[in-house]
Amino acid sequence: MAFTLPDLPYAHDALAGAGMSKETMEFHHDLHHNAYVVNGSKLIEGTEWANKSLEEIVTGTYQAGAVAQNGIFNNASQHWNHTQFWEMMGPNSGAMPGALEARIVDAFGSVDEFKTQFNAAGVGQFGSGWVWLVVDTDGTLKITKTENGVNPLCFGQTTLLGCDVWEHSYYIDFRNKRPVYLTNFLDNLVNWENVAARLG
Ligand code: MN3
């Protein structure tokens, strides 16, 4: 089944006051994300993946070390990643729910220390990729970074939070300042209710 571009869960200008402009949304959602949807749909047509779920396609086509050659994986994973990313943000960032805060404090010592480590991982991802907060297979919370479209599904992890550190995500609003983009993401853009709900 062909991929479908989901509508943003808010207006294109809803996050402008929190540091993600309407122009970024028009490029990032309407053009970049849509390109993964269109290209991925073409690539799976007539293949064994045509009738699989998006999650099955991502995990089934992931090959460690061979990502650049894998067009179906790249487009499917980026479709999944961006769909999560839009849902993880919102115009009313709000407070972190207590259950999530307790898990973060337990894993990292404090919310501030979690933010410091998440920011450092995102800054430390050389080139394009993502930074994540996941529940690892052993049940512990971990911060990870991945290249290109690779995501926690590839490693059997539960995704709580992800931030796109491809340049297209921040260059309009923050130019080359990836650390400032990441700080702003954590302080002003994350919908912590959505993140907490992913704890299950
Ligand atoms: Mn992107």
Selected from 3.40.930.10, 1.10.10.10, 2.60.40.420, 1.10.287.990, the CATH number assigned to the domain covering 21-88 reads 1.10.287.990
- What's the gap in Å between 161 CA and the centre of ligand 1? 14
- What's the gap in Å between 6 CA and the centre of ligand 1? 14
> Has residue 74 got a pLDDT over 70?
yes
- For the chain, the 3-state helix, strand and coil shares in percent, each to the nearest 5, are 55, 10, 35
The domain spans of the chain are 21-88, 98-197
CA distance 180 to 93: 17
- What's the gap in Å between 117 CA and the centre of ligand 1? 21
Strand ranges, E, within the chain: 129-135, 141-147, 158-164
Kindly list the protein residues that place their beta carbon closer than 5 angstroms to ligand 1, a single-atom ion. 164, 166, 169
Pairing of strands 158-164, 141-147: unpaired
Amino acid occupying residue 69? Q
DSSP annotation of 96 = P
- What's the gap in Å between 158 CA and the centre of ligand 1? 20
- What's the gap in Å between 106 CA and the centre of ligand 1? 31
* Predicted confidence (pLDDT) per residue in 107-160, tens digit: 999 999 999 999 999 999 999 999 999 999 999 999 999 999 999 999 999 999
CA distance 21 to 24: 5
> Has residue 65 got a pLDDT over 80?
no
> Has residue 168 got a pLDDT over 80?
yes
Share of the chain above pLDDT 70, in %: 98
- What's the gap in Å between 52 CA and the centre of ligand 1? 23
At 68, the pLDDT band (50, 70, 90 cuts) reads: low
CA distance 55 to 16: 31
Selected from 3.55.40.20, 3.40.50.1100, 3.40.225.10, 3.30.750.24, the CATH number assigned to the domain covering 98-197 reads 3.55.40.20
> Has residue 67 got a pLDDT over 90?
no
Calculate mean pLDDT across residues 17-40.
98
- What's the gap in Å between 109 CA and the centre of ligand 1? 30
**0.75 exceeded by pTM:** yes
